[in-house]
Structure 1
């Protein structure tokens, strides 16, 4: 197996998916479809997405000794993910109950289970996996203190997907390159910091406001509208990437920070479950290959566009061959050919 270039540290869940006509109001009972169980969890999703687009990927996390744990191991292995540091612990595998409405949107309730065992102590034991990896990917379905251990201890580039929304310390924000958030997660971080987001229709202003919180770069995802990339000058810009260290002084972002909008392919969404994770996984692989952040986001938006046209999370993620075929078909459809 190749030496991992991307190491994902995070959650692994069994997704319990059911279709509903509408989201229930308080006190309301709705009838849903039969439950379909599929592999998921933000961390495992991102690792699978990265593996499917050709990345050399390892996953660090925890599952239980149960059928759900076996399901996740099989899915990760099938995508070529290195599972050396996927631990089996004395707890049930995490689950996510996902309700999907006819427009393809979803509501999710997560029960962490074994993911609570991704502790700072466990991560110190697995430091040889993530400590020197070129790109490390984090999300927030594991304890926030564990996220901090990896973000501040990794020597490579750290991608922080601040989802689900939670308070992040300044050290984690300073390590993020990029910080990846959607609009609701961005609003949470800015409100928590007492910072103004700018006009609701000015996503560039929101991205700049996020930069002022301290990350080295920002990717603001906008669903069907694509994404916004914001970067400011880095103190380590003229040094080899191996010399980058968390804590280097970085000039504050200002209104002159470079902001680029990357459009998404127009598709008919069937199920948005895992789309953001497919985006992050593909982004990490491109960054590990040396791509600029903008170029990495362009690939990531294409991967996410294909993913939302299929059901499920990991089962919807395309391989590179599938991505190329689907992207060509979508572009031909848009141009009317």
Structure 2
């Protein structure tokens, strides 16, 4: 196993998260009072880039923010996490915003207003064959397809939010990462080369062409916020696999990172270095 973490370029969304923490989620047409409001840096792309950087990878963000106060705040947050933001465009108009309600158990409802994310372009962006490119679906599918076509190296898709995916894109993916619901909503994933599926409290599993080839249990933790947990899992799994861990150990490491993220109220939690989680898993298995 290599000890050098690979370079990761994330192509994806950058949002301001407006989070209302309430006792429970409202039903249709219902108003709930007594919530606590916070503003945080977010967006699936930015969350994954921040997690990759904090885990110790060399992380670059390709995205777009608006020419406004929120855009500058999002850039500062990424830079503060150690992410290279040279390929983040500042565009006229508003920065993307996510309206999030979180209940006392950490479950959430999210509405995304894409803002500048909807105008993301890859013009002038170069991809190196040795780097890993990680995309999600909060930016336009044509942008994701373009990244897949232009990048000659390892390509990963976090297929969220769930949607029908072109066969060309699925065949190009070296790895697809989804949660249990997304896996059920995208039947074509059973034909994909390699798919990691998360099951919340039931851990995660790896599938090759629909056949389960590895799994790992979850890590028990008190839930504070699930918004950034899946993104931290994605970054950790990519880094662990690219570092040379086998499927089961990579899943276990990513589960541990996701558990730390769930216990943190932030959408971009301050996780430890990847080596910390690798060592933790080794101790739990009696290897160290």
Aligned to 1:309: 263
Q: How far apart in 2 are the matches of 1:83 and 1:226?
A: 33
Give the number of the structure whose residues are more often strand, by fraction.
2
TM-superposed CA distance for 1:178, in Å, is 1.2
For the pair 1:288 / 2:242, whether they are aligned, the reply is yes
Q: How far apart in 1 are the matches of 2:250 and 2:73?
A: 30
Q: Could you report, residue by residue, the CA deviation over 1:100-155 in whole angstroms, capped at 9, with x for unpaired residues? A: 1011111111100010111xxx21421x1x35342110000000111111122211
When the two chains are superposed, the root-mean-square deviation of aligned CA atoms in Å is 2.4
Q: Is the 8 A contact 1:303 1:318 kept in 2?
A: yes
Q: Is the 8 A contact 1:152 1:171 kept in 2?
A: no
Q: How far apart in 2 are the matches of 1:321 and 1:85?
A: 25
Q: Give 5+ residue unaligned stretches, structure 2.
A: none
Q: Could you report, residue by residue, the CA deviation over 1:204-249 in whole angstroms, capped at 9, with x for unpaired residues? A: xxxxxx332xx22010111111101113xxxxxxxxxxxxxxxxxx
Q: How far apart in 2 are the matches of 1:47 and 1:285?
A: 11
Q: Could you report, residue by residue, the CA deviation over 1:243-295 in whole angstroms, capped at 9, with x for unpaired residues? A: xxxxxxxxxx37xx452111111111111111000001112222333333433
Q: Secondary structure at the match of 2:186?
A: helix
Aligned to 1:180: 177
Aligned to 1:123: 122
For the pair 1:320 / 2:286, whether they are aligned, the reply is no
Q: Is the 8 A contact 2:253 2:278 kept in 1?
A: no
Give the 3 Å change call, closer, same or farther, for CA 283–325 of structure 1 in structure 2.
closer
- Give the paired residue count: 280
Report which of the two structures shows the higher radius of gyration computed on alpha carbons: 1
Q: Secondary structure at the match of 1:84?
A: strand
Please, which of 176, 181, 190 is the counterpart of residue 211 of structure 1? Answer: 190
TM-superposed CA distance for 1:34, in Å, is 3.6
Q: How far apart in 2 are the matches of 1:148 and 1:163?
A: 15
Q: Secondary structure at the match of 1:173?
A: helix
Q: How far apart in 2 are the matches of 1:187 and 1:84?
A: 37
Q: How far apart in 2 are the matches of 1:3 and 1:53?
A: 9
TM-superposed CA distance for 1:175, in Å, is 1.5
